[in-house]
Structure 1
């Protein structure tokens, strides 16, 4: 069970940085429209992730498991995530500081926006397919797998909540240059995870 907690926390941490457009849309929304708007976006992202995780787990029931699945998921997924990390290192961020964060907001609208942005981002589905493959190797029981995904969602929502809260409170102190640096940090984290995944898969199967 301890391994499930570690895997879940790791997956939640990576996931909170993974979806580039959503990650920075959350910070941008919190700065421009306040904590409630940013956190509503975060909840929409979590709902989307739960749907994708359900699809991955449900869909895997119809596939005959083979060891080669882990090999292909590890190598292809690692390369894909590595490319995402490179994109993070090169992308830029822009923010409008003139909006009023205290004005009335449409929470459902931001929730729907977070849901659609996340579920329509290919890297999100790819990430959960990769995580599901890793968890299937590390954990045998279904209840442990579900608990692991629960920890991942709880970790991600906690991190997103902190991001939204502090982004709204420190809106005038958070500069575009700071977010660009944060973008690069996220890129490095994803590249390290991708490199570890490729290395682990290569040494296991070759």
Structure 2
């Protein structure tokens, strides 16, 4: 069990710094809306990850093959992500009212942020493929023992969450240094990132099937791990 925990912690840390839409939205939420708002968003992301892990664990390699043969899932998720990015980019931003003592802003809806984090992660079918890949690669090393799976992935998610807390705290330090104009630029940059990530998913959906062959992908991963 100790070896499983030691192996899971670096993976959780690495996962927290994977560059994608969730990474940028988490930072943006922390900078603009504060720690608790970013925490609510991050919890939604983690719940989606836990759901993906459960789906991946109780499925099989056949599910990954089916996903690779359904490029429409990538196109669908990518289109939603890109549309969301366009909305953020072109949305007319309201300049926040600056008082001499504090920044006046609307009350934060933590439930909506939780849901936003969940769905932003859930619509990215690539995340499910990622967790399937991790399970296929590490499963034999865990002897396919359910208890070891729980310890390994629980530790991995825990390390991911703790690392995210540090990211949120660091990003929050930038809040007092941002002017209303800078905040608008940050939001537009975020919208552009989401459009790029959505476009990448759409392109994956139009790639030839042999480019999405899971057998070849995970054979390469296993070669690197041995």
TM-score bracket for the superposition, by shorter chain length: 0.5 to 0.7
Select 2:128's aligned residue among 97, 118, 125: 125
Distance 1:198 1:31 in 2: 41
C-alpha RMSD of matched pairs (Å): 3.5
Counterpart contact for 1:19–1:121, Cα < 8 Å: no
Distance 2:117 2:173 in 1: 21
Q: Is 1:37 the counterpart of 2:58 in the alignment?
A: no
How far has the Cα of 1:22 moved from its partner?
0.6
How far has the Cα of 1:101 moved from its partner?
8.1
Q: Which residue of 2 aligns with 1:154?
A: 158
Distance 1:11 1:101 in 2: 40
Structure 2, unaligned runs of 5 or more: 69-88, 97-102, 194-217
TM-score by length of 1: 0.64
Q: Structure 1 residues 159 and 204 mapped into 2: Cα distance closer, same or farther (>3 Å)? A: closer
Q: Which residue of 1 aligns with 2:28?
A: 28
Q: Is 1:48 the counterpart of 2:69 in the alignment?
A: no
Q: Which residue of 2 aligns with 1:90?
A: none
How far has the Cα of 1:108 moved from its partner?
0.3
How far has the Cα of 1:172 moved from its partner?
4.5
How far has the Cα of 1:14 moved from its partner?
2.6
Distance 1:19 1:55 in 2: 23
Select 1:107's aligned residue among 98, 107, 110: 110
4+ residue segments displaced more than 2 Å: 98-103, 169-177, 197-205
Q: Is 1:15 the counterpart of 2:18 in the alignment?
A: no
Distance 1:198 1:33 in 2: 43
Task: Spell out, residue by residue over 1:148-183, the C-alpha distance to the aligned partner (whole angstroms, 9 max, x if none).
Answer: 010011111111112112211332558989x99xx9
Distance 1:35 1:168 in 2: 7
Q: Which residue of 1 aligns with 2:201?
A: none
Structure number with greater Rg is 2
Distance 1:152 1:204 in 2: 18
TM-score by length of 2: 0.59
Structure 1, unaligned runs of 5 or more: 64-68, 74-93, 184-196
How far has the Cα of 1:146 moved from its partner?
1.0
Q: Structure 1 residues 198 and 170 mapped into 2: Cα distance closer, same or farther (>3 Å)? A: farther
Distance 1:200 1:59 in 2: 20
How far has the Cα of 1:18 moved from its partner?
2.7
Q: Is 1:135 the counterpart of 2:159 in the alignment?
A: no
Distance 1:164 1:101 in 2: 21
Q: Which residue of 1 aligns with 2:71?
A: none
Q: Structure 1 residues 135 and 101 mapped into 2: Cα distance closer, same or farther (>3 Å)? A: farther
